């Protein structure tokens, strides 16, 4: 499944997730730590019209959005689950995204779990791994 650029999920999947999967993005691993990649990526997603829902054990409000301790705690539907956790924890998050009824899962750069990719795709969700939406979204034009 690896494609150009090292990502999993082709360019068409990237486009579909960014354009057609919906605008409510749960960002798992997002806190108010400005030095973490999730903080900057969430800001870019907001600039491009996405609603960012922070999911982090601290349940902090980030970028003006109420945070939740887990995906299961989010009291409304999320469209895309953007995952900023270590690869060894990411598969469980992907499974939670399926259970929560998300339409797509996005594993950030360096986050790879091929078994989770296969399970998530088999469940009917779009998925990409080892890519960054903050890099991809401006390319859409």
Domain 4-140 has CATH 3.40.50.20: no
Model's pTM, two decimal places?
0.93
Cα angle: 84, vertex 88, 94; to 5 degrees:
60
CB atoms within 10 A of CB 60: 16
Domain locations in the chain as residue ranges: 4-140
* pLDDT tens digits for range 65-110: 999 999 999 999 999 999 999 999 999 999 999 999 999 999 999 9
pLDDT at residue 104 in the model: 98
Predicted confidence band of residue 2 (pLDDT cuts 50, 70, 90): very low
């Amino acid at each position: 499944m690896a494609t150009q650029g090292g990502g999993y999920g082709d360019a068409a999947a990237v486009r579909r997730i960014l354009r057609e999967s919906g605008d409510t993005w749960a960002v798992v691993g997002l806190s108010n730590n400005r030095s973490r990649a999730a903080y900057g990526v969430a800001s870019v997603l907001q600039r491009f019209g996405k609603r960012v829902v922070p999911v982090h054990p601290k349940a902090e409000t980030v970028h003006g959005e109420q945070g939740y301790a887990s995906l299961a705690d989010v009291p409304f539907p999320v469209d895309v689950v953007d995952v900023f956790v270590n690869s060894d924890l990411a598969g469980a998050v992907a499974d939670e995204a399926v259970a929560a009824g998300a339409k797509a899962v996005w594993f950030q750069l360096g986050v790879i779990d091929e078994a989770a990719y296969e399970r998530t795709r088999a469940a009917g969700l779009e998925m990409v791994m080892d890519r960054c939406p903050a890099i991809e979204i401006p390319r859409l034009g």
